[in-house]
Amino acid sequence: METMRKFKPEDLTPRQRHHYILGTVNPRPICFASTLDQQGRPNLAPYSFFNVFSSTPPILIFSVNTRRDGSNKDTLSNAAATGEVVINLVNYPMARQMAICGVEYDTGINEFKKGGFTPIPSEVVKPFRVKESPVQFECKVREIKSLSDKPGAANLIIAEALLVHMHEDIFSPEDTIDPLKIDMVGRLGNFNYCHANANSVFAIKQPPADIAIGFDNLPEHLLTSSILTGHYLAMLAGVTQLPSESEIDQLSKNDKVGEFLHKMQEERDPLPMLHKEVLYLLKNKKVTDAWSILLLAEREKLV
């Protein structure tokens, strides 16, 4: 990414600004907001300017733009009038039906019916929950914050979850939430979405309390390597301690390692060979071995 484009938000057209921001700040989870109007009529609409901002207490925030003509969307009017919303999360099996509920139906039209969803009663607030949704938050509206008075302006709806419902099917045998079972949908730019399937989900085990050594403790020859990218260097920088002398000794007794070091000695520039070996080990998730071979090469004064 050598060449960067640079914009001042005010120099873009509203359409460009909207597209550039939505096309880049993603994937965004989808808040499927269920509200009631003052006459008790149900309303259901998706909002992807959405996230959770606290777990204690559980605070979920989503943002409702005013319509192009400056009028309020139904969700905003209802949340302001009743102080209640049920935030349903959207998974892959629901996605197509959810998109129908994003159509700008007239006030009073019941999007549960338009999208083919099943309304079920909530326990501590009046709006319905969406039965098909894997997670439903019954919320009270804490605050609504308007960010501007121009048409299209965003209004943050700050909601606190009072009661949470989670479908039994999304839990792993260890009682954690299984990302593949919940299969959440994310909103990308334009009409694009993604979801959490076996090809897209990956784990990075880097617990915040385990103090990693960091890039600043990597040898210089690694930082300037054209073979090891940031992704692989992060595997080396993410450890809390280097292998012990006895772990290095153990590896040095391996015949193949001895042969490898011998070949390194014969190279005019042994670094690419070492970096390729480290890359191979890291690709196979052998981080301790990768560090050991690096330290062994250093000990043998090969680098």
Ligand X SMILES: Cc1cc2nc3c(=O)[nH]c(=O)nc-3n(C[C@H](O)[C@H](O)[C@H](O)COP(=O)(O)O)c2cc1C
Binding mask 88-117 for ligand X (x = CB under 6 A): -----------x--xxx-------------
In whole angstroms, the minimum distance from the beta carbon of 128 to ligand X comes to: 14
Task: Return the DSSP state at 141.
Answer: E
x/- letters, 189..228, toward ligand X (CB under 6 A): ----------------------------------------
CB closer to ligand X, 20 vs 171: 20
Joined together, the tokens standing for residue 21 give 């921001």
45 binds ligand X (CB under 6 A): yes
Inter-residue contact 153 to 66 (CB < 8 Å): yes
Number of H helices, E strands in the chain: 11, 11
DSSP secondary structure of 22-69: HHHS--B--EEEEEE-TT--EEEEEE-SEEEEEETTEEEEEEEEPPTT
Residue at token pair 């009529």: 41
42, 49, 125, 228: residue in contact with ligand X (rule CB under 6 A): 49
Site for ligand X, residues 142 to 181, rule: CB under 6 A = none
Buried b (16+ CB within 10 A) or exposed e, 144-183: eeeeeeeeeeebebebebbeebebeebeeeeeeeebeebb
- Minimum CB distance to ligand X smaller for 102 or for 179: 102
In this complex, which beta carbon is closest to ligand X, that of residue 75 or of residue 88?
Answer: 75
Q: Which residue is nearest to ligand X (CB)?
A: 102
Instruction: Answer for the pair 81, 36: CB distance below 8 angstroms, yes or no.
Output: no
CB closer to ligand X out of 94 and 278:
94
To the nearest whole angstrom, how small is the minimum distance from the Cβ of residue 133 to ligand X?
14
Smallest distance, ligand X to C-beta of residue 278, A: 43
Of 40 and 207, which CB lies nearer to ligand X in the complex structure?
Answer: 40
Q: Which residues pair with 138 in a beta bridge?
A: 86, 163
Q: Say whether residue 133 binds ligand X (CB under 6 A).
A: no
Which tokens hold the place of 209? 């309390």
Judged by CB, which is closer to ligand X: 18, or 140?
A: 18
3-state DSSP assignment of residue 302? coil
Q: Which of 19, 58, 65, 299 binds ligand X (CB under 6 A)?
A: 65
Run of H or E residues at 135: strand 135-146
Q: What is the 3-state secondary structure (H, E, C) of 215-278?
A: HHHCCHHHHCCCCCCHHHHHHHHCCCCCCCHHHHHHHHCCHHHHHHHHHHHHCCCCHHHHHHHH
Comparing CB distances to ligand X, the nearer of 36 and 64 is 64
Please, which of residues 66-85 interact with ligand X by CB under 6 A?
Answer: 73-75
- CB nearer to ligand X: give 65 or 252: 65
List phi, psi (to 5°) of 207.
-65, 135
46 binds ligand X (CB under 6 A): yes
Out of 61, 64, 237, 282, point to the residue binding ligand X (CB under 6 A).
64
Nearest to 33 by CA among 76, 72, 94: 76
Size of the site for ligand X (CB under 6 A): 18
Nearer to ligand X, 88 or 292 (CB): 88
Range 261-280, binding ligand X (CB under 6 A): none
Q: Which amino acid is at 196?
A: A
- Interacting residue ranges for ligand X, rule: CB under 6 A: 30, 43, 45-49, 63-65, 73-75, 99, 102-104, 187
